[in-house]
Amino acid sequence: MARKRGGNKVDGWVVLDKPVGLGSTPAVARVRRLFGAAKAGHGGTLDPLADGVLPIALGEATKTVPFVMDGAKTYRFTLAFGEARTTDDREGEVTERAEHRPDTATLAAVLPRFVGHIQQVPPAYSALKIDGQRAYDLARAGKAPEMTPRTVEIHRLELLDRPDPDIAHLVVDCGKGTYIRSLARDIALALGSVGHVSALRRTAAGRFTEAAAISLPKLEALGHIPALFGALAPVATALDDIPALALTEAEEARLRHGQPIFRPGDAPPEPSLLRAEIGDRLVALVQSDGVSFRPVRVFNL
């Protein structure tokens, strides 16, 4: 999810608190323009309906985007009972109505059924490709795309609040590829009703949390490059859960030339990925084979 343009040498992450109504791609474009960055990408799409944590990678940070895309994410969402919608969120057309509203105890009791590895059918209005076409393009053309169930992982699913019978506020920790719209739809169906997501906020994506997020107005108010740099998180933030390997200058030179370094006594016996550093400066991601460390991604920092 990265684009390269001519621009400034800027390397790091902006943890954007994306507002409702703004798509992820336009959000990245606005941040890239603010910094004048040559390259930019993001760590996982947020629909325009959703707000919250959108990690935006600039420069060399784009090389670490897959580690955020593949990482766990946390969402708070509101499940609205009584209406099924084409998009499984509040923006779609109503396709079915139901009078039944489950009581709070029954709702809480059904949630463990959705924890662990579960089968989930993605929404028809999604960016998944079917025979080379986006599902949402097919759906908008009235072609009813056939969505195949797939396995996703839910680490935690809890009821936060039930202010009235029509809605419930929940929180979920989930793995890559989970659709919260599908989760809300399926919870309602399991309770003998129908439902959709009426509000969605991402509070964490990998190592990035809402506590560190900055809004676009605040970012734009900083106004000039030196102040904007203060809003950058280091490139290595996305790799904090990967073990570190301290390098010598000679070893750094080898890695930068695409050559392995040999430390039979230090290399883990099992194949593993490590982040190679000199001091606090990230040099490369290396793969250990039990004897050597081979560069798989080198950073120009």
Q: Which helix (H) or strand (E) holds 187?
A: helix 180-190
d(CA 150, CA 178): 9
Q: Is 166 known to be catalytic?
A: no
Residue 80 CB neighbour total at 10 angstroms: 20
Single-letter code of the amino acid located at 240: D
- Among residues 110, 135, 115, which one has the least CA distance to residue 125? 135
Cα→Cα distances 214→108, 128, 181, 252, Å: 33, 29, 25, 34
Q: What angle do CA 187, 190, 194 make, to 5 degrees?
A: 70
Catalytic residue from among 17, 47, 89, 186: 47
Q: Which residues are catalytic?
A: 47
